[in-house]
Structure 1
Amino acid sequence: MTAPTGTRPARTGGTRPRVAPLRPTRRPHRAGRPKRSLLLTVLTGLVVVYSLVPLVWLLINATKTQAGLFSSFGLWFSDDFALWDNIRRTLTYDDGIFARWLSNTLFYVVAGAGGATLLAAVGGYGLAKFNFPGKRAVFAVVIGAVAVPGTALAVPTFLMFSQMGLTDTPWAVIIPSLISPFGLYLMWTFAAEAIPDELLEAARLDGAGEFRIFFRVCLPLLAPGLVTVLLFTSVATWNNYFLPLIMLKDPDWYPLTVGLNAWNAQALTVGGDVVFDLVITGSLLTIVPLIAAFLLLQRYWQSGLAAGGVKG
């Protein structure tokens, strides 16, 4: 007698049928993956070496005296350690002009990069959260401005500032530094995702004005983007060379980049060994504030990445 359709036949005996264990499916092994990983590791190592060798050379040679600088191997220390004496001579040479250049650079960074960051935050927030006629045209202008290098605008800027009588003044360096198309575009895209529209509507229903909403509600949410723009604009202003070179004639208004180049030209003109050790020590002191800024502001980047990784 056959079993009805859809029913299982009765088991004979007390034994259960053996079922083959499930084996995890293996992904097909790609033969090219180890070679690709090795190639990427080698390329990354070359980039790291290329980036660190000049820094190591600068740190090592800043510890040498003038005689040891030209008589020893460039990537190793000499017998005499003169780092602290070189720093003292750098800060006191020519009536302490290096300290003057350092204060000028800090002033340009605070006024120029700080102002550029604030303008980028306000403009990016407005472009991201308000609709107005011509918004697409503004977007096209911003993208086009990002593609234009700053050196291409240096000569037209000089001619315009010379007609206004602003050359050889700090304003000739600060005003062009206030414009950061990349910072504006970055804050535009960041504000569009970081600030929910429901939060703005709730603040408006509570009677808050637009300026209060921006400074009290939106600005804390834009902190990771602000830090990013601030670092980019600070580095750009700190390393700015061509614009101050053509705008400034008075050495008392020089930033560090132009001042160190003047020292280097003086060393090469006089004989190559007069203040060359001061140029190396001054270059080391120039990059220390930038490294400190990146290390101190790194936690804001980490918090921004963590906030962006959580989905609401």
Structure 2
Amino acid sequence: MTPGLTRVRRPGRSLTLTALTGIVLVYSLVPLLWLLVNATKSQPGLFSSFGLWFADDFALWDNVVETLRYDDGIFLRWLANTLLYVLAGAGGATLLATLGGYGLAKFDFVGRRAVFAIVIGAVAVPGTALAVPTFLMFSRLGLTNTPWAVIIPSLITPFGLYLMWVFAAEAIPDELLEAARCDGASELRTLFQICLPLLAPGIVTVLLFSMVATWNNYFLPLIMLKDPDWYPLTLGLDAWNAQAATVGGQPVFHLVITGSLLTILPLLAAFLLLQRYWQSGLAAGGVKE
């Protein structure tokens, strides 16, 4: 070894970790593969062929068309309802979490520690434990069986607020805020023109978490909604599945599977389109001056 040079030790590869990662990958992809393969089968083909392989007939396009047209196109209505709940609920939750996290991270006020304890306690409370009290409260207000019964509870995300609180405390230097104030910038201008670009990775993270939670929400709409015209996709597909399982019911299992495939496509597209904000945030935090 040359004197004065330090040998850099590269981390070794762990076969155990690689094997566990491979098992998790297979566990995650097999259900998606099963869904994709069975969405290409007709109703008879679902029960006459192996679940993880294609049938003789390739009926994906026919299944998609039938899913969109079945029952006077109710699937499109459920899709529009889900988009409404996501845009209003997840979008509003992200906005409130961003404003609240920024304020709690960068402004000192009386009761700040108490707010922190309340937020941490709220993160530990499961949403299902609050579903019945929320239903009773909304029932007295006359808001059940309306979109507000799904949108308003979705606006509260303690985990998103805590995440933005921690992220804003680390991503925004206090010196930057002091410099903006010395230059005469108002608090709103400082927030929207200086701080929001720095908070972009955290905002996207909270947005995706809220969007997935709202898109996949099942229990809250189940107890809040009775009118099928206001169902989200999760509740609508469950109604189709129950209809197909009923004795004498119309066999629509192939529509349930195709509808499930169509349901996850917007989420995949959202993750693919927004992942660059995560990468930019990781790259920005990986360099020290």
Which residue of 35, 41, 59 maps to 1:82? 59
Q: What's the Cα RMSD here?
A: 2.0
Equivalence for 2:104: 127
Q: Deviating runs (4+, > 3 A) in structure 1? A: 20-28, 270-273
Are the aligned partners of 2:243 and 2:250 in contact in 1 as well (CA < 8 Å)?
no
Unaligned runs of 5+ in 2: none
Residues 141, 68 of structure 1: CA spacing in aligned structure 2 closer, same or farther, 3 A cutoff?
A: same
1:24 Cα deviation after fit: 8.6
TM-score of the aligned structures, taking structure 2 as reference length: 0.95
Instruction: Give runs of aligned pairs for residues 196-235 of structure 1, distance below 5 A.
Output: 196-235=173-212
Are the aligned partners of 1:66 and 1:273 in contact in 2 as well (CA < 8 Å)?
no
Are the aligned partners of 1:120 and 1:180 in contact in 2 as well (CA < 8 Å)?
yes
1:206 Cα deviation after fit: 2.1
- SS of the residue aligned with 1:222? helix
- Aligned equivalents of 1:271 and 1:250: distance in 2? 23
- SS of the residue aligned with 1:94? helix
Which residue of 17, 31, 39 maps to 2:16? 39
- Aligned equivalents of 1:55 and 1:148: distance in 2? 30
Equivalence for 1:116: 93
Which residue of 240, 244, 247 maps to 2:221? 244
- Aligned equivalents of 1:197 and 1:48: distance in 2? 42
- Aligned equivalents of 2:40 and 2:256: distance in 1? 12
Cα distance per residue 1:253-276 (max 9 Å; x no partner): 000000000000000014576111
Which residue of 138, 148, 155 maps to 1:171? 148
Percent sequence identity over matched residues? 80
The structure in which a higher percent of residues are helix is: 2
- Aligned equivalents of 1:83 and 1:125: distance in 2? 47
Residues 1:304 and 2:281 are matched in the alignment: yes
Equivalence for 2:26: 49
Q: Aligned AA for 2:139?
A: S
Unaligned runs of 5+ in 1: 1-19
- SS of the residue aligned with 2:47? helix
- Aligned equivalents of 1:222 and 1:129: distance in 2? 13
Equivalence for 2:160: 183
- SS of the residue aligned with 1:78? coil
Are the aligned partners of 1:63 and 1:77 in contact in 2 as well (CA < 8 Å)?
yes
- Aligned equivalents of 1:23 and 1:217: distance in 2? 45
